[in-house]
Amino acid sequence: MAGFNGFTKKTTGFLRDLERHNDREWFNANKATYEEHVQQPMLAFIAAIAAPLGKISPHLVADDKKVGGSMMRIYRDTRFSKDKRPYNEHVSVRFLHERAGKTPAPGLYLRVAARDVTLGTGIWHPDAPALGKIRDHIVDNANAWLRIRDAKAFTGTFGTLDGESLKRPPKGYDADHPLVEDLKRKDFCAFTSRPAKDLTAPDFLAQTVRAYKTSAKFLAFLCAALDLDF
């Protein structure tokens, strides 16, 4: 595969057109445009970011395979959805921990849409045993958690944590615990969005790596809670 030469306005232009023509006939007629201006540069981006991600953690995976790699399918599974649009109107990439799929594990996320670019970090919807491990790790390491959660570099990039939370404290945890709002979380993740024009910046890859680096300690904390190497 050719090296990463950046994204162009045709990347977001295709996604904008897809919003207006989300049907198989239009997509098939424009599939070559998708492959040239969306799929190929994204796969090249994944290949290019592999080494920098390895410096953040050697256990994060950047896989540039067309199918089954870090880039998620643009085809939607509409079997059980009322929304029958056949295609996602964005392109998503996950740089997951190497143990993901075998056990709940955190990772990094990138989503490119017509009007914005979103970066994410953390773990979304872990199962109950994994949630328990993370909550227990927070209780046992409260000071370390606060330093990581509130670090200026992290909050300056990703802001506050996002995702769903329970309405009441989880069973077995003190309702008066000073970190009860974090203990109520069902997701431990954070996101930041940027305008789509940032996608075509010459240093987009470097910008992305710098943002991901600010969440390294956050990911390391989650990995420690889940008995994963980082």
Any idea where the domains of the chain sit in the sequence? 9-225
**Amino acid occupying residue 195:** P
Nearest to 219 by CA among 108, 132, 130, 111: 108
Nearest to 135 by CA among 191, 189, 100, 185: 185
- 186 three-class SS: coil
CATH architecture of residue range(s) 9-225:
2-Layer Sandwich (3.30)
Q: Are 208 and 110 in contact (CB under 8 A)?
A: yes
> How does pLDDT run along the chain (230 residues), one tens digit per residue?
568 999 999 999 999 999 999 999 999 999 999 999 999 999 999 999 999 999 999 999 999 999 999 999 999 988 888 889 999 999 999 999 999 999 999 999 999 999 999 999 999 999 999 999 999 999 999 999 999 999 999 999 999 999 999 999 999 999 999 999 999 999 999 999 999 999 999 999 999 999 999 999 999 999 999 999 99
Which value, in Å, is the radius of gyration of the alpha carbons in the chain?
A: 19
**Amino acid occupying residue 64:** D
Contacts of 131 (CB under 8 A, 6+ apart): 170, 186
Chain center to CA of 98: 15
Nearest to 14 by CA among 112, 155, 160, 141: 112
Q: What angle do CA 121, 80, 129 make, to 5 degrees?
A: 45
Task: Give pLDDT tens digits for 110-153.
Answer: 999 999 999 999 999 999 999 999 999 999 999 999 999 999 99
Q: Are 80 and 51 in contact (CB under 8 A)?
A: no
